[in-house]
Structures are given as C-alpha cells and as structure tokens.
C-alpha cells in the first residue's frame, strides 16, 4: 500500500468532481439550445448534482466497509467516464420535448448528469474515511489539504472551458471530454493500488456501535451546524457571477468578470487549504469559529454593495468571504473523523450528505430572496447563518477548553464530552 499514491488519487477524484461543476455551468447555454430545453428542464437535468450525491454518499457510508474502498473509488471514476459518454453521445431532438423522458437524447442527458452526482457522492464517501485511516494522527490536516483540489478543479475546469471557447471555438461536447481525463488517471491508480480497511473495521467496532455514534449529542450538534456551514460556503458560490455583476456595474457579466471573481476566491481557497491546513489541525474548533465570522462578514459586506461601490470594495469583501469559507466543509469533516472515529465512514457520509442537501435547499431560497429584495439581501440573509455559527462554534470551543482542550479521540479512547 502506497499512502502517497492514494492521497494523490483522492485529490484527483475531488478535482474531477469540481471540474464537472465548473464545466457544467459553462456549457449550460449551448446544451440547452442543442436539446431545445427550457430553463426549468435544464434545472431538472442538473438537479441530480444534489440528490444523487446524497444518495451515493449514504450508500457508500454503509457499504464501503463491505465492498471495499478500492471498488467504490474505481466505481466513481467509471461513473464519471460513463456520464461523459452518455451526455456527449446523446442524440438531439429536432424540437422541444414535453418531458425529459419523452426523447432518448434528453433521457440520456438526465442519466448522464445523474451519474455525475452519484460519482461525486462516491468520491466523498470513499476519500474521507480513506484519509482518516491513512493519516490517523493528522486527520483534519490531510482532509483539508485534499479538499484543496475542489477549488483547484473549479479553477482548472472553468479556465479551460473559457479558453476553449475563446481561442478554439470547440463544441460544448469537447469541453465535457476534459472530465474523463483525470477520471481515467485516478481509475488507473485505484486499479493498481491496494486500499486499507477502514479504522473502524480494523478496530473491530461493530455496525451497531457505529450507528450508535450518530445519536451522540455532540455529533447531532455538529450535524446541524453542517447544514449551516455548507449553505454559507457553497450557496453563494452558485449565484456569485450573477450577483457580482448585478451589485457592481463595473463588472460586465457578459465579459466574464463575475466568473473571474469566483475563480479568484477559489484560488484563495486552494492556496490556503494546500499550505495552511496546519492551522485547522492545531485548533479545528477555533478555525471553524473564525472562518464562520469571516465568511459572514464578507457576505454581509458584499450585500451592502450598490451601484456606487468600487471594484476594489468588491474585491476586498470577496477576499474576506473567500478566506472565511476556505476551511468550513473539510474542517467539519475532519472534526467528525477526529471526535467520532467509532462512527467510521457512516458519520462522515451523513455529514457530507447533509451539506449537499443544505445547498440544494438554500439555492431556491436565495433565488426567491433575490427576486423579492435584490441580490444584496440574499447575501445578507446567508450572512446571518455565519453569525449564528460563530456563536455556536465559539461556545463548543469554550466547552472543550473547560474539559482540558480539544484533542483528537483515538478509537480506543474514552468518549468525547457531550454537548
């Protein structure tokens, strides 16, 4: 077993999932025109990014110890490749369709994006327990460093797609083929490397004991917080290009200025996660409190921008938001792995599934807020979550401090203090 190669494969797989998100957004318009789809139908095509992810990560959390991490990881790569094949080879209808399932081409389109969602869920369901097992003494640090490749994938996929449009004028199908390249690369690693059994299995923790961990008060509190942290981090991202173009008139949405702001914040996330992961390792709860405060502050400031605001003010506010959101998702996963090792892959999957469901729920709420009160009000609404999370994480940090401070729990240790 080669931990370094497995770490690289984990990074490549999370990067592949991010490329799907980035390229999907770039080709949406062309794909809609090709298949004669309405905006509502395109929303139905893309919706599996949320519910299929949740389905897959929960399946992985329950079966990864039975089937094996290697098989699950390989299946995720195969799913990405099959998804690309279905979408790019789907026949085009000659006219609008009443239903996605009324034509084989649009049906293949839906199934292809469903496979993308399943594959993303399998990736998260495998790499988190894999990293927790490979690096049992530095779980949060390694999980954060690996998740640096989520923003890296957004940057790579987004910039490649834009460049291919501007300089090569290739069809949208060619852009989607980019996804298959890293998928095939990490599939080759998964096929050639032995994978470990999870920490839970090695320590002979039963399935019943694993499920019992999900009822622990501290886990339930973190589970509720995951809904908020995911909404703060990923909810605004989906609206970012459009919101920035609406708030600051100097940013021309047609010229891609709003997209470049998203790429900029993704660049911040990549750099900080890759080279600053030791910060979250030293004080995960303090990191979560500080990150929530910065993300909330950045979002609130962005929400105050108007037609008189400068691009510099927008850049500064976006920077604060970008720095704040950097550690939220991976640190939540890392804390879960460190405090509840007996929960095994199940608890990590539950946390990931909650996070993605949260994003799926907050997006339409933000959209309705934008329609009624404007984009600034939508960002300020999410900023309130950042303030609430700051208070909760600070309270948990003080509680741990009263019990001797935060420390990672070994799977054979006494249990962590309850909430």
Q: How far apart are CA 233 and CA 329, in angstroms?
A: 8
How far does Cα 159 stand from its chain's mean position? 19
Give the pair of three-digit tokens for residue 194. 């032995």
Q: How far apart are CA 95 and CA 117, in angstroms?
A: 27
Give the pair of three-digit tokens for residue 21. 């998100």
pLDDT in tens, 119-160: 999 999 899 899 988 988 888 889 989 999 999 998 898 888
Q: How far apart are CA 112 and CA 46, in angstroms?
A: 10
Mean pLDDT of 367-388: 89
Min mean pLDDT across 147-161, 198-212, 375-389 is at 198-212
- Sequence-distant (≥ 6) Cβ neighbours of residue 365 within 8 angstroms: 381
pLDDT in tens, 154-169: 889 888 887 888 788 8
Give the pair of three-digit tokens for residue 149. 């490749």
Choosing among 1.20.1340.10, 3.30.450.20, 1.20.1250.20, 1.10.20.10, the CATH entry for 1-197 is 1.20.1250.20
Burial class (CB within 10 angstroms; exposed 0-12, middle 13-18, buried 19+) of 270 = buried
pLDDT of 388 above 70: yes
Q: How far apart are CA 234 and CA 224, in angstroms?
A: 16
CA atoms within 13 A on the CB side of 418: 5
Q: How far apart are CA 326 and CA 279, in angstroms?
A: 12
CA atoms within 13 A on the CB side of 138: 11
On the question of a common fold for 1-197 and 206-419, the answer reads yes
Q: DSSP assignment, residue 18?
A: H
**Domain residue extents for the chain:** 1-197, 206-419
Please work out, in degrees rounded to the nearest 5, the angle formed at the alpha carbon of residue 208 by the alpha carbons of 203 and 211.
Answer: 95
pLDDT of 256 above 60: no
> What pLDDT sits at residue 241?
61
pLDDT in tens, 235-246: 887 666 666 666
Is CATH 3.40.50.1100 correct for 206-419? no
């Amino acid at each position: 077993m080669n931990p370094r190669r497995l770490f690289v494969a984990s990074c490549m797989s999370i990067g592949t999932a991010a490329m799907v998100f980035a390229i999907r957004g770039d080709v949406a318009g062309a794909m809609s025109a090709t298949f004669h789809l309405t905006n509502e139908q395109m929303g139905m095509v893309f919706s599996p990014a949320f519910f299929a992810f949740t389905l897959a990560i929960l399946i992985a959390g329950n079966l990864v110890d039975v089937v094996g991490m290697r098989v699950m990881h390989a299946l995720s790569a195969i799913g990405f490749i099959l998804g690309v094949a279905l979408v790019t080879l789907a026949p085009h209808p000659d006219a609008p369709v009443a239903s996605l399932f009324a034509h084989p081409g649009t049906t293949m389109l839906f199934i292809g994006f469903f496979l993308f969602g399943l594959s993303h869920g399998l990736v998260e369901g495998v790499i988190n327990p894999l990293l927790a097992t490979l690096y049992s003494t530095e779980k949060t640090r390694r999980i954060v460093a690996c998740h640096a490749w989520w923003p890296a994938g957004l940057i790579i996929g987004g910039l490649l797609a834009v460049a291919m449009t501007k300089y090569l004028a290739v069809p949208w199908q060619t852009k989607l083929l980019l996804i298959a390249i890293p998928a095939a690369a990490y599939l080759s690693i998964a096929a050639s490397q032995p994978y470990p059994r999870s920490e839970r299995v090695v320590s002979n923790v039963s399935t019943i004991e694993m499920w019992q961990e999900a009822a622990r008060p501290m886990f339930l509190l973190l589970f509720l917080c995951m809904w908020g942290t995911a909404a703060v981090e990923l909810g605004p991202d989906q609206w970012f290009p459009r919101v920035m173009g609406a708030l600051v008139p100097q940013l021309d949405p047609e010229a891609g200025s709003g997209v470049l702001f998203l790429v900029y914040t993704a660049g911040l996330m990549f750099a900080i996660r890759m080279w600053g992961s030791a910060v979250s390792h030293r004080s995960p709860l303090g990191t979560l409190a500080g990150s929530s405060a910065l993300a909330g502050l950045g979002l609130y400031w962005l929400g105050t921008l108007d037609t008189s605001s400068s691009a510099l003010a927008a850049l500064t506010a976006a920077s604060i938001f970008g720095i704040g959101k950097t550690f939220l998702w991976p640190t939540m996963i890392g804390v879960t792995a460190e405090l509840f090792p007996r929960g095994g892959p199940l608890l990590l999957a539950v946390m990931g599934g909650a996070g993605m469901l949260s994003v799926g729920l907050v997006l339409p709420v933000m959209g309705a807020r934008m329609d009624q009160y404007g984009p600034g009000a939508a960002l300020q609404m999410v900023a309130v979550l950042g303030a609430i999370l700051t208070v909760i994480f600070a309270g948990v940090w003080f509680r741990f401090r009263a019990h001797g401070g935060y420390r990672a729990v070994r799977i054979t240790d006494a249990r962590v203090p309850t909430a």
